[in-house]
Structure 1
Amino acid sequence: MQFTAIHRGLGLEPQPLTWTLIEQAVDAGLPEQADLDWKGKRHEHKGPVWKDELAKDVAAMANSGGGIIVVGVSEDKPTSKAVGFDEPVQWNDLDARKYREVIYNNTHPPVSDVTFDNLVDREGSVLVITIAPSLDAPHLLISKNIDFRAPFRDGTLTQWMKERQLAAAYRSRFADRGDFTARLHGLYDEVAGSSHADSRVTFVAVAAPETARPSSLGRITGAKATYIFQNAHLLQNTLFPFHDRSSPLLDKGASLERARRGFRRQTARYDREDGAHSRYRSAQASVHDNGAVSLAWTLGGIVSNTEPHEVTSVLVEVAVGSFLAVLASAARALGMTGSYELRVGLAWEGSDPITIHGPGELDAPEPYAPTAADDFYPAPVHTIPIKAFVPVDISIDAMADDDTLWGAASELALDCVAQGGVDTLEALRTELR
């Protein structure tokens, strides 16, 4: 769902931005705002300087809390009011790629959270460029004509930041980034603290969006969260070749499915003993009202003949894949854009160091004893006891495609298991993709 200056100006509830809403805004003569810019024609109409103009308009929005640029709507210059539609805006994937390249190459740090929507009707078409608020502001414009100046929206005008404004913007960036990181780490500690890490090694993962889901959209309903968890299981089966392996989403008949309201979040959980192996199995996942997601799953001692401080690398891989499936399902269902920051790790409060067993290590009945005639000597497994696991941090696009999700899962899983001396993956190895 969307809530833009057009929704606000028309007095509407959050809803998808459509041609009809643009038409209503034009009929109402809606004026430009700090977060709404009318453009009659595409930026190429400006001639040789069009790339500078595009980068400046986008950076100004990003530096001013985000907003939308609507191309194809004419304005009355003295009043900045929308007065009609210009010629239809033709748009395709090649255009979007070109615009992204221009924005990336002409802003520093690059403005990356930009989306393009071509709204088409039999009466015509417009292009809506949506720019999200940025934790990396201020973004400077860099080009042959303008070097290292920061634009911003001053009401309906685009101005250049003065030295004092730049200094304040940088202070805000560092403070906001520090606050965001502190909140992410705090969420990780909260999830770890509410898990069973005091009795078994537990996989813990959290992800928070850099641009939070607006509070104006209200709380996430139980039905929406239940759909997210159900769809996550389908995504896991599509994205990752785990097949019949136990996972936090579906473990020996227990499943993360039905969500219930918690503190600013919806949470699904299960908690039970597995009578067949006398192994304690527990998992919980949450979708937070601000768009964040979290997951915890007990891994220690799940496999027969292992202790609470012992885990297998393949189950760590499965846990990472399941978490990314939950994240992707939530981002797509909630319409989240921009980047997510992730923190993933193994929580354990016991005195024994965490032990991670590599692929096949527990399956081999006896170690292989090579003879002098053998040309190949299998490398021994060197397990590294982990006295203090270091959580792994990574960034990922909320709307990442399947290949990107696979790559992120592999990277996260390998960074986790490598701390225990495991340097190969099993469930997420490249040839399975």
Structure 2
Amino acid sequence: MHGPFLDTTARAPRCAARPPGLRHGRQGCCRPLGGVRRPGLEGTPSPAPREGRWNELAKDVAAMANTRGGLIVFGVQDTTCELTGIDPAEVKPEQYAQWIRNHVHPYLSGLTSTMLTSPDGTRSVLVADVLASLMAPHLVYGTAARDKDQQAAVAPYRDRDHTAWMAEHQLERAYRDRFTRAAQTDDTLRQLVDHTRRQ
């Protein structure tokens, strides 16, 4: 399973050697402290949006990329973090990648995920690893609830254990931070080129 969303060989979570640790969905599956932990989600990612709702997978991924990154564990009950498991046969990596390509802008790269199975083979979970993005803010596009022809965009972010929408001043700061990072990168590159020419 390879693609912009699922690359099962690229970056396995640090707790891959001990699947029972996946019960701790709010700790991001043993991810070091500092990242944003998304509570576990029971079942595989939800289908494409309907009735004006945002695509839930795109919203969750964008929210974490807009904050500090983290893990999303599918197969863990959302409120109790109880390990429920998912059916690996129902995992559709190409579909998930398409959702993210279609609904998250600018394009969000570097997403990886891993299927983990308990030692007895009875339960599996899908762990998606979302990196903090240098291109934040990422907007999620969907349709308005009352007017299906009207496209709308929001900028989600993680606030502790829930997803919120950026207000205008938060969007302004997020864009300013992006442009500052780009300017710093350009300045560093210019210094390296000047240094090379002087050699």
**Fold match, TM over 0.5?**
yes
Q: CA deviation at 1:181?
A: 2.8
Q: What is the alpha-carbon distance in structure 2 between the residues aligned to residue 29 and residue 67 of structure 1?
A: 11
| Aligned residue number for residue 184 of structure 2 | 179
| Aligned residue number for residue 8 of structure 2 | none
Report the secondary structure of 1:83's partner residue: coil
Letter in 2 for 1:158: T
Q: What is the alpha-carbon distance in structure 2 between the residues aligned to residue 43 and residue 169 of structure 1?
A: 27
Report the secondary structure of 1:64's partner residue: coil
Deviations 1:177-198 (A, max 9, x none): 21123234434544x26xxx75
Contact 1:151 1:160 in 2 (8 A): yes
Q: Which moved more, 1:161-170 or 1:48-57?
A: 48-57
Contact 2:26 2:37 in 1 (8 A): no
Q: 1:148 to 1:106 in 2, by over 3 A?
A: same
Q: 1:180 to 1:65 in 2, by over 3 A?
A: farther
| Aligned residue number for residue 18 of structure 1 | 16
What is the aligned-residue identity percentage? 31
Contact 1:67 1:132 in 2 (8 A): yes
Q: What is the alpha-carbon distance in structure 1 between the residues aligned to residue 48 and residue 161 of structure 2?
A: 19
Q: CA deviation at 1:168?
A: 0.8
Q: CA deviation at 1:157?
A: 0.4
Residue 160 of structure 1, aligned match among 165, 186, 190: 165
Contact 2:49 2:55 in 1 (8 A): no
Contact 2:22 2:83 in 1 (8 A): no
Report the secondary structure of 1:39's partner residue: coil
Q: What is the alpha-carbon distance in structure 2 between the residues aligned to residue 51 and residue 29 of structure 1?
A: 23
**Which is strand-richer, 1 or 2?**
1
Deviations 1:162-209 (A, max 9, x none): 11111111111111121123234434544x26xxx75xxxxxxxxxxx
Q: What is the alpha-carbon distance in structure 2 between the residues aligned to residue 91 and residue 17 of structure 1?
A: 23
Q: What is the alpha-carbon distance in structure 2 between the residues aligned to residue 29 and residue 59 of structure 1?
A: 19
Contact 1:31 1:82 in 2 (8 A): no
Does residue 55 of structure 1 match 2:82? no
Report the secondary structure of 2:14's partner residue: coil
- TM-score, normalization by structure 1: 0.36
Q: What is the alpha-carbon distance in structure 2 between the residues aligned to residue 168 and residue 143 of structure 1?
A: 23
Letter in 1 for 2:16: T
CA RMSD of aligned residues (A): 3.0
Q: What is the alpha-carbon distance in structure 1 between the residues aligned to residue 25 and residue 68 of structure 2?
A: 24
Structure of larger gyration radius: 1
Q: What is the alpha-carbon distance in structure 2 between the residues aligned to residue 98 and residue 128 of structure 1?
A: 16
Q: 1:29 to 1:97 in 2, by over 3 A?
A: closer
Deviations 1:63-121 (A, max 9, x none): 0021111111123x2xxx522233344366xx222211110110121222211211234
Aligned residues: 173
